[in-house]
């Protein structure tokens, strides 16, 4: 284990449609630059080929900005950490190739990072507004591509104990939003409209799924049928009820998540709960997690907003811990579109 050294990590994230670079000094974030790709809005979802091209355009300026904001010189960098997967192959390739070349150029180690692990370990970023959970804890990772409950025994000891059998929570949000005619990504918009809506106005079914697994495709279908039926009766149904529909959808999703967490706590006896991933930016979910402290006696951890959606700071914190443990990647490391947490 390397101690007593100031470690500077440059981290790169390019797994989906955000190009991000961050610089960390040990476990503190000096800069965290995110370029969100607006192009996908026109298509109602992420177009992989366009994402890859936009990463190619963004990566150099984003990395330059991250280094400039951190106010360090490239020569001070100890290592380069990058997202190896999971994600879109064309997107991952841009960050992976860039990180490999820069590590060769600067003659510093390369560190590969699992994106989903990074969403979990984002809690360990040293930030005044956050406290890290204690091992072992349960992590609910909710993003556009994943929904998992992970038992986290240590930095490098994680086990998936439940996951979605079909759509991810983020997809449930985004697809519901699409049905309502809202632009991509619809998750944050559902959140926004839900704040002034009545969550009990409309009822959607809670799926019955075994063990700690999830399913969201049935919810999407039931919302679709409901909206089709109602708009046949009243073409202005969505417009007249948008806030209440959004609040009811969000309430249903939160109910599904909390129900499974309660089951996971019962099965494992672990009451330390952390959330991560883009959907943990949702204000209703954040509130439900905070309320669970008094309601169920859990200790819950909600990351700072900017460390929820895709960002390179979370890749950097994993890079820091890997660096300390001298876990480096070789130059022949390749991107992995499917990359399980282990
Ligand atoms: O982790 P993330 O940035 O990218 C993936 O790795 O997928 O997650 C993106 C997902 C999208 O589905 C987006 O709609 C959702 O996170 N999201 C939200 C909110 N902010 C982002 N969903 C609900 N409420 C939000 N406030
Ligand atoms: Zn993510």
Q: What are the average pLDDT values for consecutive 10-residue runs of the chain, which has 342 residues?
A: 81 96 98 92 88 95 98 97 97 98 98 97 97 98 95 97 97 97 95 98 96 97 98 98 98 98 98 96 97 98 94 98 97 96 80
Residue 258, pLDDT score: 98
The ligand 1 atom nearest the CA atom of 283: 26
Residue 42, pLDDT score: 84
Residue 238, pLDDT score: 98
Provide the 8-state DSSP code for 76.
G
Residue 95 Cα to chain centre, angstroms = 17
Residue 13 Cα to chain centre, angstroms = 12
Nearest CA to ligand 1 atom 22: 187
Radius of gyration (C-alpha) of the chain in whole angstroms? 20
Residue 8, pLDDT score: 98
Taking the centre of ligand 1 as the mean of its atom positions, its distance from the CA of residue 65, in whole angstroms, is 24
Element (H, E) at 112: strand 110-114
CA distances (Å), origin 179, targets 184, 191, 204: 11, 15, 15
Tokens of 56: 């190619």
What is the residue whose two structure tokens read 């979910």?
Answer: 285
Taking the centre of ligand 2 as the mean of its atom positions, its distance from the CA of residue 143, in whole angstroms, is 6
Exposed e or buried b per residue across 63-91, where buried means at least 16 C-beta atoms within 10 angstroms of its C-beta: beebbeebebeeeebbbbbbbbbbbbbbb
Which of 14, 187, 190, 337 best tests ligand 1's pocket when mutated (most atoms within 8 Å of CB)?
Answer: 187
Instruction: Decide: 185 in ligand 1 pocket, CB within 6 A.
Output: yes
Tell me the C-alpha distance between 28 and 7, whole Å. Answer: 10
Instruction: Decide: 310 in ligand 1 pocket, CB within 6 A.
Output: yes
* All residues with CB under 5 Å from ion ligand 2: 143, 310
Instruction: Decide: 279 in ligand 1 pocket, CB within 6 A.
Output: yes
Neighbours of 12 (CB within 10 A): 28
Residue 3, pLDDT score: 59
Residue 101, pLDDT score: 98
Neighbours of 176 (CB within 10 A): 26
Residues across the chain: 342
Return all residues near 28 (Cβ < 8 A) that are at least 6 apart: 125, 126, 127
Tell me the C-alpha distance between 238 and 224, whole Å. Answer: 12
Residue 4, pLDDT score: 65
Nearest CA to ligand 1 atom 7: 144
Nearest CA to ligand 1 atom 14: 187
Return all residues near 57 (Cβ < 8 A) that are at least 6 apart: none
């Amino acid at each position: 284990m390397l101690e007593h050294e100031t470690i500077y990590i440059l981290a790169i994230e390019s797994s989906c449609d955000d190009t991000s670079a961050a610089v960390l000094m040990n476990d503190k974030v000096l800069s965290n630059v995110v370029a969100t790709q607006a192009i996908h809005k026109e298509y109602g979802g992420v177009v992989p080929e366009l994402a890859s091209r936009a990463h190619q355009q963004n990566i150099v300026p984003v990395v330059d900005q991250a280094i400039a904001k951190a106010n360090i010189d490239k020569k001070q960098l100890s290592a380069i950490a990058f997202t190896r997967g999971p994600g879109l192959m064309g997107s991952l390739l841009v960050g992976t190739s860039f990180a490999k070349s820069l590590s060769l150029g600067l003659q510093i180690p390369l560190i590969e990072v699992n994106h989903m692990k990074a969403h979990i370990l984002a809690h360990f970023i040293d930030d005044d507004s956050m406290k890290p959970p204690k091992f072992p804890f349960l992590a609910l990772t909710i993003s556009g591509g994943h929904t998992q409950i992970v038992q986290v025994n240590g930095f490098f000891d994680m086990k998936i104990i439940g996951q979605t059998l079909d759509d991810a929570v983020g997809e449930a949000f985004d697809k519901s939003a699409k049905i309502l005619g809202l632009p991509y990504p619809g998750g944050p918009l559902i959140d926004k409209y839900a704040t002034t809506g009545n969550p009990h106005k409309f009822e959607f079914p809670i799926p019955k799924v075994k063990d700690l697994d999830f399913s969201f495709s049935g919810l999407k279908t039931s919302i679709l049928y409901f909206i089709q039926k109602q708009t046949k009766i009243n073409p202005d149904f969505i417009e007249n009820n948008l806030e209440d529909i959004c609040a009811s959808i969000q309430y249903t999703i939160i109910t599904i998540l909390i129900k499974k967490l309660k089951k996971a706590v019962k099965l494992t006896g672990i009451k330390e709960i952390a959330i991560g991933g883009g959907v943990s930016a949702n204000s209703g979910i954040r509130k439900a997690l905070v309320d669970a402290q008094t309601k169920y006696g859990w200790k819950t951890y909600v990351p700072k907003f900017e460390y929820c959606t895709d960002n390179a700071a979370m890749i950097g914190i994993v890079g820091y811990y890997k660096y300390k443990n001298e876990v480096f990647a070789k130059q022949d490391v390749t991107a992995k579109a499917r990359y399980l947490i282990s």
